[in-house]
Amino acid sequence: MFGIQVGVSIALLVRKSKTAKLPTRIFYASVGAAWRKEEKYRFLDEVGSRANVDFAEREPNQHHDWLGDAEIVSVESMLPVAERTKRGMGAIFKGYSLGVSINRDAVAYSFQATSLERQVKEFVAAYDSELDRFKRSKATDLDKFVDHGKLKWSRNLKRHFLHGDTVTFDPSAVYRSIYRPFTSTNLLLADVIVDEPGSASEFFKNQASINLSICIPTAGARSPFWCFCVNSVPNLNLVSIDACQYLPYHAKEGTPPSGAENVTDWALNQFRTHYSDPNITKWDIFHYVYAVLHHPQYRERYAANLKRELPRIPFVGGDGLQPGEEQIPRGLKSARDDKQEEVSQRGAEAPLYPNVVGGNRGPSTPPEAGSAQDDTRVFWAFSQAGKRLADLHVNYEQQPEQPLERVEKGQLNWRVEKMRLSKDKTTLVYNEFLTLKGIPPETYEYRLGNRSALEWVIDQYQVSTDKRSGITNDPNRADDPEYIVRLVGQVITVSLETMKIVKALPDLLISQAVS
C-alpha cells in the first residue's frame, strides 16, 4: 500500500469510555517524505511495535491544525478568493462552482459532434427501454432489476428513473467543454445525462457563452496545487480525481449590465484603497489573482493552507521590483506579442482575448516605472503577467508552434492512435509516419497536477473505447487532419512561455492589508 504517490498514514485510535472526561490527545510520528516503500517496510519490521516508535504529542491550534504549520495563521489577513460558508464575509469572487460531474463521460462527451448525437440517442433508447420494462413490472428492488451492462447507474440516474424522468437529445444543449487541460471537446449539458451540473447553467447560459474562469482544486485536494484558466465549461476532474472549483469573471454570461461581474465591489475597493490607485479595474484584479496563484513561492509557503481551504490572496508589494525595472516582468514578451505588434502597426487592435467579451480591459493606466510606490508597481507587474498567462492558457490554439525536427517515414498520415514519448522525453512518436524530435526539457516544468501540459495532450488525444458501452472517442479531425500535430507544438510553446513568465515574477513580498 506504500507504493502510491499520495501520503499514507497508519492511525491508531483509542476509544474513550463514556465516563471518562479526559481531553483528546494526539501523538504523531513521521518518516522521511522521500522514503521509498522498501524503506518504510524495513522501518516497520525494525520497530515491531508502537511502543518502539518515538511519538511526539501535538496540540491543535485555533484552526484545528496539529501539524504545526506557522503559515496557517499568517493568511488570516489575506483576501479569500471566495466565501465557502456564505456568511456574507468579504471575498474577491461572489460566486464559484464545482466543475460538471457526469458519471457517464463516454456518453456525454465526444470529440466528434456527430458521434455525440449518436451515442446519446443510443443511451436514451436503452434508458427508455428499461423505464418501460420497469413500469410494466412489479419489481421493488431497482438494483436487481435494471441491466447494469447497458447503462452506468449512478445515484442521481436512479432517482430520475424512479421519478419517471425522460431525456431527449437537444442540439442546443451541446456545449464546448474543457475536459482535461488543453482538451476541448463537445458536452451534452442536459438533465438525466449529467449527474451534477453545478452552476454551469448560470455561468454559461447557452452554447455561445464565454466566461473566463480560473480553475483551482477544491479544499482537501491530494495532488500538487495547480490553477488553469478556461473560457468554457470545465469538468469536475479537470486535472485529477480531486474536484475542480472554478471562479468565473462574470456571474452571468456577457458584459455589464446584461451580465454582472463576479469580481466583487468589495474586492475592487480593497485593491484600490490598498494600492492608492483608482485606475485598478476588476479585470486587473482577476489577472493579478491568476499570477499570484502561479507563483512558486506562494505555492510553497502556503502549501498547508492550500490543502485545507480555498486560496487566500495577499497584497504583494515592497521592493519585489527594483527602481527603474520594467513594469512587465522579464520574459513576458513572446512570439505572440510580436504578432500583436505587427497587427497594431497596421492600425488594428489585437485583443488578448479575441473570444472573450471585456477581456481586453485593463490595466487601464498603469503607473510609469519609477513614478509610483513600489507596492503599486509590483501589483501592475503581477497583473500584466496574469493577463499574459490567461491569454496563453485560454487561446492555446492560436499560439505559434515550437519548432521541432520532423522525421517522416512512409506514406503521409496525420492520424493518431496513441502517441508515446521516448524515455528521455525529448522525442515523441506521433504515429508510424511521423516522429517529432528536439522537445526542450523545460517543457515538462509546466505541470498541472501530476502531469506536464504536454503529457496531458498525449494522454487525452488518443483513440479510446469505453469498456462498458463500447463507445469509441476519436480525437482525429476530418476537417483539420493536422490539428493534433499542430497542437503538440502549440502546447510546448505555451509551456515554455508560461515558465518564462512565472520565473520572471517579482519576489512574493507581502505588504499589510487594509485595516
State phi, psi for 26 to the nearest 5 degrees: -120, 125
Distances (CA, A) of 513 to 91, 272, 273, 505: 14, 12, 10, 21
CB distance 245 to 227 below 8 Å: no
Strand partners, 183: 180
Residue 141 has a pLDDT of: 85
With cut-offs at 50, 70 and 90, classify the pLDDT of residue 174: very high
CA neighbor of 223 nearest in space, from 244, 204, 202, 205: 244
Would you call the peptide bond into 257 cis, given omega within 30 degrees of 0 as the criterion?
A: yes
- Whether 90 contacts 274, CB under 8 Å: no
Output the 3-class SS for 214-261: EEEECCCCCCCCCCEEECCEEECCCCCCCCEEEEECECCCCCCCCCCE
What residue type is 412 in one-letter code? L
Higher-confidence position of 300 and 366 = 300
Helix axes 374-394, 282-294, angle to 10 degrees: 80
Number of helical (H) and strand (E) elements in the chain, helices listed first: 15, 22
The domain ranges of the chain are 1-59, 72-398, 405-500
Give CA 416 to chain center in angstroms: 26
- Looking at residue 259, its pLDDT comes to 65
Rounded Cα distance, 328 and 505, in Å: 9
If you average pLDDT over residues 113-127, what whole number do you get?
Answer: 93
* Winning range, highest mean pLDDT, from 61-65, 340-344, 465-469: 465-469
Q: Cα(212)–Cα(358) distance, rounded to whole angstroms?
A: 10
187 is written with which cell numbers? 458536452
Question: Using the 8-state DSSP alphabet, how is residue 176 labeled?
Answer: E
For the chain, the average pLDDT equals 84
H-type alpha helices, 91-233:
105-108, 113-136, 142-145, 155-163, 200-203
* Share above pLDDT 90 across residues of the chain, in percent, rounded to a whole number: 54
Contact 216, 310 (CB under 8 A): yes
The model's pLDDT over 51-107, given as tens digits with 9 standing for 90+, comes to 888 888 887 766 666 665 545 546 778 999 998 655 556 899 999 999 999 999 999
What is the rounded average pLDDT of the residues 195-201? 88
| CA 505 – CA 388 distance, rounded (Å) | 12
Tens of pLDDT along 268-324?
A: 999 999 999 999 999 999 999 999 999 999 999 998 889 888 999 999 987 554 434
State yes or no: pLDDT of 345 exceeds 60.
Answer: no
How high is the pLDDT of residue 49?
Answer: 85
- Give yes or no for a contact between 127 and 108, defined as CB atoms under 8 angstroms apart: no
Q: Are 99 and 234 in contact (CB under 8 A)?
A: yes
Residue 317 pLDDT: 86
> Assign residue 182 a region: left if phi > 0, alpha if psi is -120 to 50, beta otherwise?
left
Tell me, what's the pLDDT at 513? Answer: 57
pTM: 0.82
pLDDT of residue 461: 98
As given in the structure block, the three cell numbers for residue 152 are: 452506468
**pLDDT (0 to 100) of residue 84:** 66
Q: What cell was used for 61?
A: 491550534
Q: What mean pLDDT do residues 232-241 have?
A: 92
Distance of CA 209 to the CA centre of its chain: 19
pLDDT tens digits for range 16-47: 777 777 777 888 888 876 778 888 888 888 88
